[in-house]
Amino acid sequence: MKLWDKGINIDKKIEQFTIGNDREIDLHIAKYDVLASQAHAKMLQNVDLITSDELKLLQQQFEKMEKQLENGEFEIGAQFEDVHSKIEFDLIQSLGDIGKKIHTARSRNDQVLVALHLYFKDKLLEIRELISDFFETLLQLAEKYKDHVLPGYTHLQVAMPSSFGLWFSAYAEQLIDDVYLLDAAIKIVDQNPLGSAAGYGSSFPIDREITTKELQFSSMKYNVVAAQMSRGKSERTIAMALSSLSNSLSRFAMDICLYNSQNFDFVSFPDQLTTGSSIMPHKKNPDVFELIRGKCNKIQALPTEMTLITNNLPSGYHRDFQLLKENSIAGVETTISILEIFNYSIQQINVKPIDVTESKYKYMYSVDKINTLVEQGMSFREAYQQIGQQVQDGTYTPSGASPHTHQGSMGNLCLGEIKAKFPNKNAQAS
């Protein structure tokens, strides 16, 4: 069944090319198309385009579909173009002419738009909650390991003293910036596009306020052309938010891969979290974090893909938009799985003690030594030159660490302040 079927036989090659793998992808949005169809039916009854008895019959069928979805029994067979044609077919099979009325005052473009908005809103809120959980884990690890020294690196050379508390809480605070962007994406998809039809509205006296309230959107995308133009723009915005988050997670995963190697040997993980080699029995590979890194880098390519597909398209609907669904949905689902496995794995990290008296860390406290001379009355430039000369001629002798007490330093992590910065759950809705 095709919603646009006019009784003309379509070339099978053309049909397969234009449908693509929509049937598989649409299982992700089936639940949301059912929800939107229910809201649409209630609105149709409210404006007297269907009767209350017809609405009751439709609702009964929607409830059956919801149960099928919950039980994993909802399937989109090869005879259907997409989820939208499957749902309408089932309604017609069960209710005859009443089922045919569900498409009154809406277009398939309408259905795709509202289902995607509902899906993205739901999933982005789930991602937000997972980030919050991960954030809390990192702050707990920062508190636990706040006094454990970690060499700080610039240019991959030992530079200055740091700590595991500073390292964990650095990535925690990075997540706050990612949530700011995520909240912006949530706000953008939290606008009801239903009622824009093919992009130019309808001559039926529909009431879009009803569907907005029924679907719990905080606002409506009022202009029907603007609603249609949100296709593509929403995906680009979501991709940018996911890309920002993926950048933080990818860098963190890279740190872990480095610190887990024998050359650094700062951290380790239980054997059950690592994998082995087919020929080297000693190997304990951090495959989880390497895959997190790789998957995050794929997600960081999404904004470019979304932009190139939609760049310079004129207003109105174009079939190019169909190509946005697969990878934008995959990006969302992958992000969820990454956050779940990252949070699960990082909780099992083993932080190792580091012997800062090793020769490779000889100059780690050189800046502290300069600062001590400054506190004793020497100018910074003179102190820098004195210590620099000692390093140059081999007379430098290491000394212990000086206290770091300013806000955000390793001696004053400000974990409470960082925790308070995390945006309130209701902030994105305001």
pLDDT tens profile 298-336: 999 999 999 999 998 999 888 898 899 999 999 999 999
Evaluate whether residue 381 is within a structural domain: no
- What residues contact 315, with CB distance under 8 A and at least 6 apart? 199, 225, 228, 229
Beta carbons of 354 and 150 less than 8 angstroms apart? yes
Q: Does the residue 166 lie in any domain?
A: yes
The answer, yes or no, to whether residue 159 has pLDDT greater than 70, is yes
- The mean per-residue pLDDT over the stretch 104-127 comes to 96
Single-letter amino acid code for the residue at 33: D
> What is the reported pLDDT for 16?
59
Q: Could you tell me if residue 2 is inside a domain?
A: no
* pLDDT at site 14: 59
Contact between 114 and 108 under an 8 Å Cβ cutoff? The reply is no
Q: Are residues 119 and 190 in the same domain?
A: yes
Q: What is the pLDDT of residue 4?
A: 43
- The string of pLDDT tens digits covering residues 163-180 is 999 999 999 999 999 999
Q: Is residue 393 part of a domain?
A: no
**Together in a domain, 83 and 127:** no
| pLDDT value at residue 22 | 72
CA distances from 427 to 182, 213, 239 (A): 11, 20, 21
Q: Give me the pLDDT at residue 79, please.
A: 83
User: Could you tell me if residue 122 is inside a domain?
Assistant: yes
What domain range is 51 assigned to? 12-103
Q: Is the pLDDT of residue 273 over 70?
A: yes
Backbone angles phi, psi at 161, to 5 degrees: -70, 140
Do 312 and 237 lie in a common domain?
yes
The DSSP letter of residue 267 is E
Same domain (yes/no): 317, 232: yes
Does 187 lie in the same domain as 72? no
Query: Is 429's pLDDT higher than 50?
Result: no
| Of residues 221 and 1, more confidently modeled | 221
Give percent above pLDDT 90 in the chain. Answer: 83
The total number of structural domains in the chain stands at 2
Is 181 found in the same domain as 52?
A: no
Give the residue, 266 or 286, on which the prediction is more confident.
266
Judged against a pLDDT cut of 90, whether residue 73 lies above it is answered with: yes
Q: Tell me the average pLDDT across 358-380.
A: 95
Pair 74, 175 in one domain: no
Average pLDDT across the chain, whole number: 92
Q: What is the mean pLDDT of residues 278-286?
A: 74
Residue 269's contacts (CB-CB under 8 Å, 6 or more residues apart) are: 260, 284, 286, 345, 348, 349, 350
The pLDDT value recorded for residue 350 is 96
pLDDT attached to residue 235: 96
Report helix, strand or coil for 107.
Answer: coil
Mean of pLDDT values over 203-230:
96
DSSP string, 33-90: HHHHHHHHHHHHHHTTSS-HHHHHHHHHHHHHHHHHHHTT-----TT-SSHHHHHHHH
Least confident of 181-185, 377-381, 426-430: 426-430
Q: Do 305 and 337 share a domain, yes or no?
A: yes
- Specify whether 53 is located in the same domain as 186: no
Question: What is the torsional sign of CA 61, 62, 67, 69?
Answer: positive
The pTM (predicted TM-score) of the whole model is 0.92
Structure tokens at 285: 């590979």
So what's the pLDDT on residue 57?
Answer: 98
Average pLDDT over residues 171-200: 97
Q: What is the 3-state secondary structure (H, E, C) of 210-266?
A: HHHHHCCCCEECCCHHHHHHHHHHHHHHHHHHHHHHHHHHHHHHHHHHHHHCCCCCC
Rounded to an integer, the average pLDDT of 140-144 is 98
Task: Give the per-residue pLDDT at 368.
Answer: 95
The verdict on residue 348 lying in a domain is yes
CATH number reported for the structural domain that contains residue 72 in this entry: 1.10.275.10
| Residue 321, domain CATH | 1.20.200.10
Given a cut of 70, whether residue 56 has pLDDT beyond it is: yes
Domain boundary (339, 355, 371) is at 355
Instruction: Give residue 241's pLDDT.
Output: 98
Question: Are the beta carbons of 345 and 289 closer than 8 angstroms?
Answer: yes
Q: What is the mean pLDDT of residues 117-131?
A: 98
What whole-number distance in Å separates Cα of residue 408 and Cα of residue 415?
A: 9
